[in-house]
Amino acid sequence: MHGWTSAQVLGIGIGGVAILAAFVLWEARSSHPMLRLGFFRARGFSGAVLSVALLMFALVGLLFVLTQWLQFDLGYSALQAGVRMLPAAGGIVLIAPLSPVFVRRLGTKLTVALGLAIAAGGVWQIAGVSVTSTYAAQLPGAFMLGIGTGMVMPACTGSLMGTLPLEHTGVGSATNGTFLQVGSALGVAIVGSILSTDYQNKLTPVLAGHVVLPTIRHEILGSLGGALGVAHHIGGIAGSLLSQAARTAFITGMDAGLQVCALVAAAGVVIALVVLPLRPAAAPPRDVEHD
């Protein structure tokens, strides 16, 4: 596994930033850009896409680790774990149709900020689970996350689309989708890295002093599922001790990753309050210059 400061990781990161900078320069000078950078000058546009990205970071980062916890630690099958994620989806289904009502009453800024605050609180609640926690322990947080998502997504979409001329709504939708995917990818990558690092750091000392084949060691340190598989194969007291140590290490890493998710969503609250307009902007006139 390559750490954050390894040459390979730093090289790929610097290369990605360079490519992104080149894309921005190209788009700024192109006569027919795929993405008009001028759109980001509108607070309703830039604030909306940033809020969506930060929300998806928290949401997908949580789903990435929570499904593993449900399957490996609590022992549910993939289908059973999926069914048990429905409370979060239920919160979205319940609240999303009411988001326009919140926007009319509170305005875009406060609706998005409140939704992100509820989502952050839900993720923080789930970050408190321990090795003795049951499925019910994360239910309040999962439902809160769904409620927050149901408030934020429609409000941000309305804000974003409201800043664009009719003929550019396709570009706006694509930009929104791009930021959604970027936030999701970063959530999985960063939260997964935190989980993996903490898991390995906690479990490596447990293996010290024991003769473990490299392939078995890689299996144990690679994932909780791998460690539990080895523990089951060993059996007895040794297997039980390995299983307990792996579960504890996983929960430690999961909680650390979820705390980061909660802080990212909380940062979204600040961005929404500072950047987003109070009310949705009226749609701008048609851009006849590019007809």
Q: Return the pLDDT at 290.
A: 43
Q: Return the pLDDT at 208.
A: 83
CATH superfamily label, 40-284? MFS general substrate transporter like domains (1.20.1250.20)
What's the one-letter identity of residue 134?
Answer: T
Q: Return the DSSP state at 223.
A: -
Helix axes 43-68, 108-126, angle to 10 degrees: 20
Share of the chain above pLDDT 90, in %: 47
71-111 pLDDT, tens digit per residue, is 988 989 999 999 999 999 999 999 999 999 999 999 999 99
Share of the chain above pLDDT 70, in %: 93
Reading phi first (left if > 0) and then psi (alpha if -120 to 50, else beta), residue 235 is in left
pLDDT over threshold 80, residue 30: no
Report for 3-17, 42-56, 198-212: range of highest mean pLDDT: 42-56
Of 3-12, 194-203, 205-214, the poorest mean pLDDT is in 3-12
Helix axes 139-162, 99-106, angle to 10 degrees: 70
Q: What mean pLDDT is predicted for residues 186-198?
A: 89
**Among residues 282, 287, 290, 278, which one has the least CA distance to residue 106?**
278
User: CA of 274: how far to CAs of 103, 116, 189, in Å?
Assistant: 17, 14, 27
Q: Return the pLDDT at 232.
A: 87
Global pTM reads 0.86
- Quick one: pLDDT band at residue 218, thresholds 50, 70, 90? confident
Q: Return the pLDDT at 115.
A: 96
For residue 136, count other CB atoms closer than 10 A to its CB: 7
- Quick one: pLDDT band at residue 291, thresholds 50, 70, 90? very low
User: CA of 137: how far to CAs of 82, 122, 125, 185, 207, in Å?
Assistant: 17, 12, 9, 27, 30
Q: Return the pLDDT at 114.
A: 96
Helix axes 139-162, 108-126, angle to 10 degrees: 150
pLDDT over threshold 50, residue 32: yes
Output the six-digit token pair for 270.
């600040």
For residue 272, count other CB atoms closer than 10 A to its CB: 29
**Among residues 70, 69, 12, 63, which one has the least CA distance to residue 199?**
69
pLDDT over threshold 80, residue 8: no
Q: Give the separation between CA 237 and CA 35, rounded to whole angstroms.
A: 60
Report for 30-44, 116-130, 183-197: range of highest mean pLDDT: 116-130
Q: What mean pLDDT is predicted for residues 15-34?
A: 82
Which residues make Cβ contacts (< 8 Å) with residue 107, sequence separation at least 6?
278, 279
